[in-house]
Structure 1
Amino acid sequence: MTPIFQLSDDFVTREAELDPIGATHRGITVDPAETTDYSPDGWAARAEHVKATLATLATLTPSSDADRIAGAHLKERLEATAAWHDLGEPLRTVKAHFGLVSNIRDNVDMLPRATDDDWHGIAARLSNVPVMLAAWRQSLEYGLSRGLAAARRQAVELAAQADRYVGVHDGLVADYAAQVDGKHADALRAGIDAAHRGYGELARYLREEYAPRAVEADGVGAERYAVGARLSLGADLDAHEAYEWGWAELHRIEAELAAEANQVRPGASVAEAMALLDAEHQVDGVDAYLDWLRARHAEALDRIDAHFDIADELRTLDVTIAHGSGAGAPYYTGPSEDGTRPGRTWWPLGGRERFAVWRELTTVFHEGVPGHHLQIGTAKVLADRISRYARSRSVSGHAEGWALYAERLADELGWFTPPGSRLGMLAGSAMRAARVVIDIGCHLDLPLPDGSRWDYDKACEVLHQRGLAQWHRVPAEVVRYLGWPGQAISYKLGERAWLAAREEATARPGFTLRDWHAKVLAIGPVGLSALSESLQGAAFGPSADSTNGS
């Protein structure tokens, strides 16, 4: 193993010790009784680990292309993370609906549960939920003492989210009884009760103590936005160029939507076509929805071989309902490092009992294959060809850009055959374009084309009317953008980067789309600033195997 690959491995090992919750999310096996220290001291220890690794990395020289990519990726990611720490962001990052609290809650469902010892680990992690949340409250209090406050809206929304989590783990008692004839039922019940108390106490604190001292402004301003965008994109952002491009892209998609609506019913407007599809192509009930989702994921896995090389390990994909989640959007978590936990797509209900599935086929391709599961899963199974650091995490612009590219690719391959499903794909693309203008506009206070200014209500209006997002998703989506600056732009800007990379590659001798996909997935995650450079070395046609980092 080269020194750069060894440093990457060492970083991940130590990071897992400092952040067991994050390690579980990244698929790294840790003792579930261990906790992440979310106190100021815990954040400081993780920041120091980042900076010490950067100092060591600066002394190392790459010995191969794989080494060069691994070192550059590690450097870019750690520099972006260090900048986030330097701004004091851990002390004021109150995020709904994807953030620290949802990570702790989802972590429980990611732990193995095959043996009685596994369930004892689940009980231990549950019992530690109030400990971790209490430490986080210390960080928030310290942040307030330094003048580092989150937005009031995020505190109120996260309090409501924490309230919804009270009771969310109750089903584990029946699961335990059904799966294992064990001796830890009392410990499991005690852990569940402790976790629920922790969620409830956090909700009270956020609502009664933190929110009154939070700031009213939702936008974070130019300095914080630049750091957030860099974390999500792996590239510095020309925000004004991206804002103008986002509006132009939204207009382009709207024209395509109008043409597709005419295919649904001649002469129909987009709104009329969507209403017609809503009336005729829904499923009723959560069980029927889950059955539909599982069937569509299975179909995509069955047809993927015709267009991609997929590892046998990735042919298993869990599909689950995200009970208790207030998130508007589905999401994906990757396989574990040791292969014992498969990739999983998570589907929030948003209070629905009827589901407009014509809209959601495109999201199956985004979250499953050929989207996140293929890309992130492939990186997981490439072993020593990609550094452990790259295998353990993705860059949002790279991953979400690929997943949105995968939706477009599914259209090119003719996969949108069910009635209305292509209109659903275009509506999803419109929503991602709307995200670009909402996210940049709200955080940087840029004017809309008509000269008006952004606020929460305007963002909801644009997302619903121009982005065509269903109303059950809209409030949660906008809250998410406001609490996670720079992430919402990663979909469309990432897709733009992937399409540009493919266009450049088509001019090379021997290009085939299947070969290109294999090459780009084998490189693993990189920031968007390094995407084009990393792909330039990809040769097509007969060639020697790529040099790995060992």
Structure 2
Amino acid sequence: MTSPIFDLCDDYVTRSAALDPVGAAAEGIDVEFAATSDYGPDGYAARADLIRRTLGRLSALEPEGEADVRAAAHLRERLEAELAWHEIGEPLREVRAPFGLFTDLRDSVDLLPHETEDDWRNVAARLAGMPEMLGGWRASLEEGVSRGLTAARRQALELAVQAELFTTSGTHASLIDSYGDGPARAALQEGAAAAYAAYAETARYLREEYAPRATETDAVGAERYAVNSRLNLGADIDLADAYEWGWAELARIEEELAAEADRVRPGASVEEATAILDGTWFVEGLDAYRGWLQERHDQAIEQLHGTHFDIAEPLRRVDVTLALGSTSGAAYYTSPSEDLSRPGRTWWPVGEGAGTRFTTWNELTTVFHEGVPGHHLQLGQTRVAGESLSRFGRNSWVSGHGEGWALYAERLADELGWFTEPGTRLGMLGGSALRAARVVVDIGVHLDLPLPDGSKWTFGKACEVLRDRGRCEPHRVHAEVVRYFGWPGQAPSYKLGERAWLAAREEARRRLGADFDLRRWHTAALNLGPVGLASLADALRRVG
């Protein structure tokens, strides 16, 4: 459809992409290639100014129908939340590990097309542009320091380690090797050398210049946390109540974990059951691991299409990619491009020294989370929705909505009885415990709320809770806690989002009674596109 509001949404996406073409392309937005984006203070100021002007233009427009109402509400909610983030100076202290702008820039290289000689010349240009982009980012951090706005010292030091790893591991070498000996090879090698030098300089800057001036305090406090929580949830919630709910939810899951461990072997503890499964349910070798993952993705699509979902033809394939040398610690998803030429992909990290044995009993739930019916259906559907969604709706993200849906997808798989192989339901519950522990760690740390025994949060205590109560794998604990400390408000969005999705579905069941149809409800839910949690139930109610 077309309307003044849809036109404004389209115009905002176009103008925003022009201000950050690198980020836009990585998100799959159809934008003319540009080697660099401006991540300096002026670049961020221009983004904030565009938001203000767009909100001003939106306030003068009247919706012309239900699609307009949804498009305007979503655009307003997202832009207001992002503007608040700009206005408290967050872009000037955006130092976080293991996920953040630094890693987004590094990953933007892999997300570029790699088909034609022109594509490869673009890859070389992106690599060669790393010094400029990272230099702009460092200038923003310096501006933050001058205003007394700094990130935590812990984040600077952790990110310095990550930057050094990118330098020493030859992070772009395998990509260049895949090109071969064509005419662009020299430019690729020169670009990679420039990128490695930029990573090394960034590591040095973070460790030697930024960290000594950064704050020793990990917690961001109530004001910053409220802004970041709103940005991630699309809602202002009672954070103290969410903290208490998180502890209760964690206790509930622990009871289920104990019962499930007993099914693995009568009388076994969760730890004993895990050891049994690690020793019996695995595959050997990278090819076998990728093959197992691809088979499970394909199987999920086959089982769901035409039963509980209507899956559009372009979405009936998810490509599995092994992210060799990755430090992310967890699988993730990248959506198809706007024109669907780039497929949806799940990325499975295989870190240095990972070995050749890969357990599978605990990975099935992540297949459903990242692939189908999780992120792939949710984000992919926005790509095939056509004109029923504004361009902004097709290219925006609310973590509580998105990660909440992905956890709902895991819960749905359980309801459908898909965790039949030994230990796979234990794996699902372990993941759910981790997400519940995230709620209490993240909110508790940043708002300085006491633990149930009255003690205070520390980095060590957060690691202990995540390991012992959240069942996080020991090798992932440190990186996970670093993530929560540096990315306030994001980690709770999974469980709080799942809670909102389950509540919305239950409300629909009660309201519609015998007329409730799960397949129809799923279709309506996915066709909405991203919605802030504050308006999720009402938006679903309005479409049936």
Instruction: Tell me which residue corresponds to 1:441.
Output: 444
The 5 A counterparts of 1:102-121 are 102-121=103-122
Deviation at 1:17, TM superposition (A): 0.5
Q: Which deviates further from its counterpart, 301-310 or 132-141?
A: 301-310
Question: How much has 1:108 moved relative to structure 2?
Answer: 0.8
| Contact residue 32 and residue 122 of structure 1 kept, 8 A | no
1:21 and 1:103 in contact (8 A); partners too:
no
Corresponding residue SS for 2:346 = strand
Tell me the secondary structure at the aligned position of residue 263 of structure 2. Answer: helix
2:186 and 2:473 map into 1 onto residues whose CA distance is 43
Question: What are the residue-to-residue correspondences of 1:351-370 with 2, within 5 Å?
Answer: 351=352, 352-353=354-355, 354-370=357-373
Asked if structure 2 preserves the Cα contact closer than 8 Å seen for 1:62 and 1:68, the reply is: yes
Cα separation, 2, equivalents of 1:346 and 1:288: 15
Q: CA offset at residue 382 of structure 1? A: 0.3
CA distance in 2, matches of 1:537, 1:458: 45
Of 426-435 and 308-317, more deviation after overlay is shown by 308-317
Partner of 1:466: 469
**Following TM superposition, by how much is the alpha carbon of 1:286 offset from its aligned partner in structure 2, in angstroms?**
3.3
Identify the residue that residue 138 of structure 2 maps to in structure 1. 137
Deviation digits for residues 81-136 of structure 1 (CA, Å, limit 9, x no counterpart): 00000000000010111110111111111111111111111111111011100111
Deviation, 1:30, is 2.8
Tell me the residue number matched to 1:28: 29
Aligned residues: 536
Q: Taking every aligned residue pair, what percent have the same amino acid on both sides?
A: 63
Counterpart residue type for residue 151 of structure 1: A
- How far apart, CA to CA, are the structure 1 residues paired with 2:283 and 2:304? 26
| 2:400 aligned with 1:394 | no
Partner of 1:298: 298
The one-character-per-residue Cα deviations of 1:450-480 (angstroms, maximum 9, x if unpaired) are 1111111111111111000101211111111
Counterpart-to-counterpart distance in 1, 2:269 and 2:179:
51
**Which stretch of the first structure deviates more once superposed, 412-421 or 321-330?**
321-330
Asked whether the equivalents of residues 127 and 194 of structure 1 are also in contact (C-alpha less than 8 Å), the reply is: yes
Measured in 1, the distance between the counterparts of 2:543 and 2:389 equals: 15
Deviation at 1:290, TM superposition (A): 2.2
In the other structure, the counterpart of 1:530 is 535
Deviates more, 1:166-175 or 1:523-532: 166-175
What is the alpha-carbon distance in structure 2 between the residues aligned to residue 490 and residue 44 of structure 1? 28
Aligned match of 2:263: 263
Describe the superposition over 1:222-272 as per-residue Cα deviations: whole angstroms up to 9, x where unpaired. 000001100000000211000000000000001111111111111111121
Task: Give the match's secondary structure for 1:21.
Answer: helix
Tell me, what secondary structure is at the counterpart of 1:268?
A: coil
Aligned 8 A contact 1:159 1:207 in 2: yes
Unpaired runs of at least 5, structure 1: 540-550
Three-state SS of the structure 2 residue aligned to 1:526 is coil
User: Does the 8 Å contact 1:402/1:494 carry over to 2?
Assistant: yes
Distance 1:384 1:95 in 2: 36
Q: Residue 26 of structure 2 contacts residue 112 of structure 2 at CA under 8 Å; is this kept in 1?
A: no
**Displacement after TM superposition at 1:182 (Å):** 4.1
Task: Provide the C-alpha distance between the structure 2 equivalents of 1:46 and 1:461, rounded to a whole number of angstroms.
Answer: 40
1:279 partner amino acid: G
Q: Distance in 2 between matches of 1:96 and 1:536?
A: 39
**Partner of residue 479 from structure 1, selected from 478, 482, 498:** 482
| C-alpha contact (below 8 Å) 1:161/1:325 kept by paired residues | no
What secondary structure is seen at the aligned counterpart in 1 of 2:475? coil
Moved more, 355-364 or 278-287: 278-287
- The amino acid across from 1:371 in the alignment is G
In structure 2, how many angstroms separate the alpha carbons of the residues matched to 1:289 and 1:475? 25
Letter in 1 for 2:270: V
Give SS of 2:204's match. Answer: helix
Report if aligned partners of 1:164, 1:324 keep a CA contact under 8 Å in 2. Answer: no
* CA–CA separation in structure 1 for the residues paired with 2:89 and 2:424: 44
Task: Quote the Cα distance in structure 2 between the aligned partners of 1:32 and 1:175.
Answer: 21
Q: Retained in 1: the 8 A contact 2:35–2:122? A: no
Alignment RMSD, CA only?
Answer: 1.2
Q: Do the aligned residues in 2 keep the contact of 1:168 with 1:323 (CA within 8 Å)? A: no
Decide whether the 8 Å contact of 2:324 with 2:351 is kept in 1.
no
- What stretches of structure 1 move > 6 A for 4+ residues in a row? none
Aligned to 1:95: 96
Counterpart of 2:361 in 1: which secondary structure?
Answer: helix
Residue 324 and residue 214 in structure 1: after superposition, are their counterparts in 2 closer, same or farther (change >3 A)?
farther
CA contact (8 A) 1:54 1:75 kept: yes
Contact 2:6 2:71 in 1 (8 A): yes
Unaligned stretches of 5+ in structure 2? none
User: TM-score, with normalisation over the residues of structure 1?
Assistant: 0.96
Aligned to 1:339: 340
Q: Which residues in structure 2 correspond to 1:183-202 (within 5 Å)?
A: 183-202=183-202
> Does 2:178 match 1:175?
yes
- Residue of structure 2 equivalent to 1:328: 329
State the partner residue of 1:424. Answer: 427
Spell out the pairing of 1:512-523 with structure 2 (5 A cutoff): 512-523=517-528
Give the 5 Å matches for 1:126-275. Answer: 126-166=127-167, 167-177=170-180, 182-275=182-275
- Partner SS state of residue 280, structure 1: coil
Quick one: which amino acid aligns to residue 5 of structure 1? F
Deviation string 1:40-83 (CA, Å, 9 cap, x unpaired) is 00100001001110000000111111110110000000000000
Residue aligning to 2:12: 11
TM-score (norm 2): 0.97
